[in-house]
Structure 1
Amino acid sequence: MRIVALDDDALQLELFRRAIEGMGHACRTHLTGASLMKDMRRETFDLLIVDWQLPDTSGPDVVRWVRENVGTHLPILFVTSRHEERDIIEGLGSGADDFMIKPVRVGELTARVTALLRRAYPAVSSGTMEFGPYRFVPDSRTLLISGRTVELKNREYDLALFLFQNMGRLLSRDHLREIIWGHSADVISRSLDTHISRLRSQLDLRPANGYMVTAVYGVGYRFEAVTPRPDDGPATGSAPPPAAADTASAP
């Protein structure tokens, strides 16, 4: 997972980074609200940790901006020295999902982060997952379209499943590269584009099948469910139209 933390204290940010990386997640840090907002316009994250008192804005204002510009899916955890009831009410009322009072206890931080991630991103089931004509079988890492098995390489399968599980989310290029190739992988940009292009073809991702993946300039990709239209053509695996009956009389 990719987690971003905002705090005006560099030592506090280092504590967050160490704790989160110790959980196996990637962590990016920011000292100002402006820096965070600039980053979030071109990158995507799975969870935000935010302080209340910042040099250029306030935590609640940042949370409101995120909800208006990023969406409601992103889990947000307030970590602040503000502890009165009215502060907790305002923090949660601005759109945050949880509230933690400083000083930070690493065990509590990791427990709250784990709980928020678990609620927002349920673990992959070992059972079959179906999305319209697409059926994923995680145990055998198999994908079927209308009952037909599609041959995918490991990374292609991982990318396809991740896209379906994050339907509707805008995912940055770096986010996708880290998920599929790992945090330390040095992957050229065109490699991701090639994998997306292959999936479009292999999975026949087009409106007639109810799904499409769209490039978002300067950011990444968005995978969406769409409503087929009559002029989109037949769905994959659908039966061809019946042939016209021969009504000509016999000679």
Structure 2
Amino acid sequence: MVMIAFLDDDQDFQAIARRWLSNTEFSSIGFKNGRELIRSLHDHSVDMFVLDWNLPDLSGIRVLEWIRNQLGDKVPVLMLTSRTDDDDIIAALTAGADDFVSKPVGERILLARLRALARRLHRTVPNLATETYGRYSFENAQRQLMLDGQAIDVTLKELQLALMLFRNLNVAVSRAHIMEAIWGMTPSPDSRTLDIHISKIRRKLMLRPENGFLLQPIYGYGYRLEEVSEA
């Protein structure tokens, strides 16, 4: 299930659009202003954003800039607004929006645009016998993880989590996506399962600059495994 943060101060339209989403592969959580959305990311994990431009506090463009600064450029963002001027469309795309839809918009168009963006999320990778990332290698048939040719003692869940992060190298991966992909469940705000496993793989894999990678928390969203160069 792909979780969408839907930001629009038009509560009537937001209710209609989220009802369209409710019978699909998407789920959603609604917000009426930008600051509310930003604060909520501490408690909610989302995979995509739909942002209205005109809002009572922060504009949709300001929220978009915050998303790009905090979460990177891989999280899909759809701008949804009544603006139709070419300069506005260019401004939104230049600021980092992945797509731009003008209101009024119907159910079929909105869902088609969102599905196109969702296909960019965590693209599948061929199941290779061996996957190598710097000094780390995954022997998938044997379910082994190696560092410089030496096996690392990890559980199956730790192995699956590490492989997901390496396959999404330098991309922010949401807690919701990780929990559903690895554990088959929606994350609970009180659950420490993921955090405990993250701590273990950070320690066991020795993810630090001298080994070429850092595992970074993304506040209110998830985690990003970054490739780094030792200074």
Same fold at TM > 0.5: yes
Instruction: Note the 1:23-172 alignment, pairs <5 A.
Output: 23-40=24-41, 45-119=46-120, 121-127=122-128, 128-136=130-138, 140=141, 142-145=143-146, 146-147=148-149, 152-169=154-171
Query: Aligned pair in 2 of structure 1 residues 110, 156: CA closer, same or farther (>3 Å)?
Result: farther
Distance 1:219 1:85, change over 3 A: closer
Deviations 1:204-247 (A, max 9, x none): 43444322334578876443223347xxxxxxxxxxxxxxxxxx
Q: Is the 8 A contact 2:41 2:220 kept in 1?
A: no
Match status 1:198 vs 2:200? yes
Counterpart Cα distance in 1 of 2:194 and 2:33: 31
Residue 185 of structure 1: CA displacement? 5.2
Which amino acid in the other structure matches residue 122 of structure 1? R
Question: Residues 188 and 85 of structure 1: is their aligned pair in 2 closer, same or farther, counting only changes over 3 Å?
Answer: closer
Deviations 1:149-186 (A, max 9, x none): 55654432331122223334555656644553345455
1:219-230 map, 5 Å: 221-228=223-230
Whichever residue aligns with residue 96 of structure 2, its letter is G
State the alpha-carbon separation in 1 of the partners of residues 189 and 34 from structure 2: 30
Distance in 2, Cα, partners of 1:109 & 1:121 = 21
Shift of 1:21: 4.9
Q: Partners in 1 of 2:70 and 2:204 — Cα distance?
A: 33
Q: How many matched pairs?
A: 228
Contact 1:177/1:187 (CA < 8 Å) preserved in 2? no
8 Å contact from structure 1 (residues 80, 100) kept in 2: yes
Structure 1 residue ranges (4+ consecutive) displaced by more than 6 angstroms after TM superposition:
216-219
User: What pairs up with 1:182-221 in 2 under 5 angstroms?
Assistant: 182-184=184-186, 186=188, 189-214=191-216, 221=223
Q: 1:223 to 1:5 in 2, by over 3 A?
A: same
Distance 1:5 1:147 in 2: 46
Identical columns (%): 38
Segment drifting more, 115-124 vs 143-152? 143-152
Q: Indicate the RMSD between aligned Cα atoms, in angstroms.
A: 3.5
Contact in 2 for aligned 1:170/1:220 (Cα 8 Å): yes
Per-residue deviation at 1:50?
A: 0.7
Q: Select 1:181's aligned residue among 164, 167, 183.
A: 183
For normalisation by structure 1, the TM-score amounts to: 0.70
8 Å CA contact 1:141, 1:157 repeated in 2: no
Cα distance, 1:77 vs structure 2 = 0.7
The CA distance in 1 between the partners of 2:153 and 2:18, in whole Å, is 39
Which runs of no fewer than 5 residues in structure 2 stay unpaired? none
Cα deviation, residue 63, structure 1: 2.1
User: How far, CA to CA, are the matches of 1:25 and 1:136 in structure 2?
Assistant: 32
Structure 1 residue 60: Cα displacement: 2.4
Q: Report which of the two structures shows the higher radius of gyration computed on alpha carbons.
A: 1
TM-score, normalisation: structure 2: 0.75
Q: Which amino acid aligns with 1:203?
A: L
Q: Structure 1 unaligned runs (5+)? A: 230-251
Shift of 1:187: 8.0
> 2:214 touches 2:227 (CA, 8 Å); kept in 1?
yes
| Cα 1:93/1:168, change in 2 over 3 Å | closer
SS of the equivalent of 1:126 reads coil
Once residues 185 and 113 of structure 2 are traced to their aligned partners in structure 1, the CA distance between those partners, rounded to angstroms, is: 23
Q: Closer, same or farther in 2 for the Cα pair 1:227/1:118, shift >3 Å?
A: same
- The 8 Å contact of residues 44 and 220 in structure 2, kept in 1 or not, is answered as no
